[in-house]
Structure formats: C-alpha cells, structure tokens
Structure 1
Amino acid sequence: MLDWNQYRSELMTRIGEIAKASPETVKGYQQLSAAGKQTNQLDAKTRELIALAVAVTTRCDGCIAVHAKAATDNGATKGEIAEALGVAVALNAGAALVYSARVMDAVDAAQ
C-alpha cells in the first residue's frame, strides 16, 4: 500500500511549486475551499467525512491523503469514516469500494 504520509508531504511540496508558478490559481483554489467553511452549518468533522466520500467517488488520491488526516485530526472515528464511505459505495458501487480500501489505508497511516 501507499505511504500516505510521505505522499501527502510530496504533494504539498508540488502544490507549493505550482503556487510559485501560478499563485492566482492556488489562491483561487484556497478561497473556494475556504468558502464552504464560512457558513458553519456543518462542523469540521462532518465536512471531512463528506470530503472523504467525494474523494472516493472522484478517485482523488491527493484528496484522500489530505482529508483522511484532517478527518482523524477532527475526531472522526474509523466507524464514522466507514459509514461515510458506505454512502460513496452505494452511489458509486464497485469503483468506490476499491477506493474505500485506499481511504482506510490512509486513515491507518494517519493515526
């Protein structure tokens, strides 16, 4: 399995390089990402659980690496993560099940 901590670190380095080459692109992404947090309708843990489910359906390893860590940092349990992944599985069937295994691997690495 993937070393999720190393992957996340390398990803952040590469994103830093993109930010230097195209600062407005990364700034726009950061503003978009922060916008959803402004309503305070969902707590951070719930947002991260949703993010993990979406990461599975979009097959985004970088998203899994970042949001598995953020979910556990915000108190999400493996059971809660598994339930959120169950929603992704129901909506995306087999492909989501395969990527859910990647999330659980990333969560184990994050702990």
Structure 2
Amino acid sequence: MSEYFEKSDKTFTRVYKKETPDILAAFAAFDEAVFQAEGREIPLKYRELIALAVGITTQCVYCIDAHSQNAVKAGANEAELAEAAWVATAIRAGGGYAHGRLAFKLAGTHDHG
C-alpha cells in the first residue's frame, strides 16, 4: 500500500475532533443521512455504487475502499462493481473529451464555420 493509504490514516481524525468538532459532527450527521439504510428513494446498494463510481472518478482510495465494501454489504456483486467502474471511466474520459474542445476555443485558432 501507498504511504497515503494505510488503515492507520484514520487516526488523524483526531485533529478534526480537536480543532473543528462541530464541523466534524455536522459532516458525520450529513454522511449518515445520505447513506442511511432505509428511507431514501435510491436503494442503498445503488447509492453505494454511485459513491464508488465517484470515488473512482476522483481517485480517492479511501472512498474506493469504503464504498466498494459497503456496496457489497448492501448486496452488490462483482459485475455491478465492474459496471460502476466502467461508468466512472466513461464519465472521466468523456470529461477529457469535452474539456479538450476548450483547447480549440481558448487557443483562438479555430474556424467558427
């Protein structure tokens, strides 16, 4: 594992607890509401797969770790994890394609016709 991704990294939450406990509590309550098992329109498995895809897109190893495991706990299988990864890949590649067009616009060397 990378030095940026170790299970002990979570121990640094103590800084948030010491310095900004009110914000940490608000974030924890928000996160808990988003991922509560019941009472949401989108089933938990799909919310976890969305979170996994976002984690893959943002390349957050902590999110990938947590949400892949949480998705499986919520009933996702490997095929669903794979499709979530491909959705993230398509969106990330599509973003590169779409934003690449800005190079033509911003370079000012293109023909508007």
Q: 2:29 aligns with which of 20, 24, 31?
A: 31
Which position in structure 2 is the counterpart of 1:10? 8
Q: Give the percent of matched residue pairs that are identical in Structure 1 and Structure 2.
A: 36
Which position in structure 2 is the counterpart of 1:106? none
Per residue, is there more helix in 1 or in 2? 1
TM-score (norm 2): 0.66
Separation (CA, whole Å) in 2 of partners of 1:53 and 1:89: 8
Pairwise CA RMSD of aligned residues?
2.4
Structure 2: tracts of 5 or more residues without a match: 95-113
Structure of greater relative contact order (alpha carbons < 8 Å, 6+ residues apart): 1
1:17 Cα offset (Å): 4.2
The amino acid across from 1:46 in the alignment is: Y
Residues 49, 71 of structure 1: 8 Å contact kept: yes
Structure 1: tracts of 5 or more residues without a match: 95-111
1:50 Cα offset (Å): 0.3
Separation (CA, whole Å) in 2 of partners of 1:43 and 1:16: 32
1:92 Cα offset (Å): 0.3
Give the SS at the match of 1:63. helix
Give the SS at the match of 2:25. helix
TM-score (norm 1): 0.67
